[in-house]
Amino acid sequence: MKVIETVGEMKLLVDALKSAGGRIAFVPTMGFLHEGHLALVDEAKRRGGAVVVSIFVNPAQFGPSEDFEKYPRDMERDLRLCEERGVTVVFCPKREDLYPEGFQTYVNVEELTRGLCGAARPTHFRGVTTVCAKLFNIVRPDTAVFGEKDYQQLAVIRRMARDLDMNLEIVAHPTVREADGLAMSSRNKHLSPEERKQAPCLRASYLEAARRLEEGEGKVARLLEAARRVIEKQPDARIDYLGVYDAEDLTELDEVDRRAVYALAVFIGRTRLIDNGMLEP
Ligand code: AMP
């Protein structure tokens, strides 16, 4: 496994891979890897060719009062996990290399980023799309694999790739969960043992909404009321947002009359967790 730390070296390696006719499957991450990330790596491996994983905690996607400094990091362990999983190249650039002095160009997906996580984190997706556009230009992958856990992010990246004629396939991978339903996330590390016990309420709230829908309740207000009750039972849970949205354009729905996504963000103590699940009429 190669570990590359500069944009220049990465571009040279990509040139070499491409001129030998190789294909590249890419998994962008912020590190502190868990089985969710590694499932994306396995998916990338299934595509054949070289698997490139990037590890970069992207300052541009954190707001001024968010957890950039406190975001968990463990490069040594990440590299070991990548090696064990058969990754070809880990790209871990330095902040100054990706955002040199004078940097001032951003990619912004206008509408899909307004609601859900974008409402509370107004510059978040601009940071995500900008870094992904840069990474796609550097790595030039044939496919890039993203997790459905970040449903809005996946929709935004797909839109960007389509709108800017990026020459790659965006592949989605289902959310990988702990045995009790909690979606795996690097941020789960911040949960105290007591908070960890409460954290599966995000998933439980979806299952409750899905159950009510199955029983014939199609009104979103009713479904959300039931879902909210599940979360509010937990003493340290505070809802940031929760809603039911059109699965494609993420507009809010009043009725589950088409393929929809239930999505939510909840603070458990000081840790903000997100999750989602599909609702079919
Ligand atoms: P992150 O390191 O949080 O930026 O995530 C990197 C990639 O891993 C993104 O495409 C995420 O959607 C994906 N990912 C994170 N957690 C999970 C999970 N539990 N299941 C599936 N994919 C995940």
For the stretch 169-219, pLDDT in tens is: 999 999 999 999 999 999 999 999 999 999 999 999 999 999 999 999 999
Give me 82's structure tokens.
């990548």
* pLDDT for position 167: 96
Q: By alpha-carbon position, which residue is closest to atom 13 of ligand 1?
A: 147
Q: Which atom of ligand 1 is nearest to the CA of 31?
A: 2
- Cα–Cα distance measured from residue 238 to residue 235, given in angstroms and rounded to the nearest whole number: 8
Please give, one letter per residue, the 3-state secondary structure of the chain. Answer: CEEECCHHHHHHHHHHHHHCCCCEEEEEECCCCCHHHHHHHHHHHHCCCEEEEEECCCHHHCCCCCCCCCCCCCHHHHHHHHHHCCCCEEECCCHHHHCCCCCCCCCCCCCCCCCCHHHHCCCHHHHHHHHHHHHHHHHCCCEEEEECCCHHHHHHHHHHHHHCCCCCEEEEECCCECCCCCECCHHHHHCCHHHHHHCCHHHHHHHHHHHHHHCCCCEHHHHHHHHHHHHHCCCCEEEEEEEEEECCCCCECCECCCCEEEEEEEEECCEEEEEEEEECC
Q: Is 175 in the pocket of ligand 1 (CB under 6 A)?
A: yes
Low-confidence spans in the chain with pLDDT less than 50: none
Q: Is 183 in the pocket of ligand 1 (CB under 6 A)?
A: yes
Show the CA angle centred on residue 197, arms to residues 193 and 201, nearest 5°.
Answer: 145
* pLDDT for position 36: 98
Q: pTM for the whole thing?
A: 0.98
Q: Is 150 in the pocket of ligand 1 (CB under 6 A)?
A: yes
Q: How many whole angstroms from 7 Cα to the centroid of ligand 1? A: 23
Q: How many whole angstroms from 215 Cα to the centroid of ligand 1? A: 32
Q: Is 113 in the pocket of ligand 1 (CB under 6 A)?
A: no
Q: Is 147 in the pocket of ligand 1 (CB under 6 A)?
A: yes
Q: Is 186 in the pocket of ligand 1 (CB under 6 A)?
A: yes
Tell me the torsion sign for CA atoms 164, 44, 151, 247. positive
Q: Which atom of ligand 1 is nearest to the CA of 174?
A: 21
* pLDDT for position 260: 98
- Ligand 1, residues 29, 30, 37: which to mutate, most atoms within 8 A of Cβ? 37
Q: Is 26 in the pocket of ligand 1 (CB under 6 A)?
A: no
Q: By alpha-carbon position, which residue is closest to atom 19 of ligand 1?
A: 184
* pLDDT for position 64: 93
Q: Which atom of ligand 1 is nearest to the CA of 150?
A: 12
Q: By alpha-carbon position, which residue is closest to atom 11 of ligand 1?
A: 147
* pLDDT for position 94: 98
- Ligand 1, residues 34, 40, 153: which to mutate, most atoms within 8 A of Cβ? 40
In the residue annotation, 173 being an active-site residue is answered as: no
Q: How many whole angstroms from 255 Cα to the centroid of ligand 1? A: 29
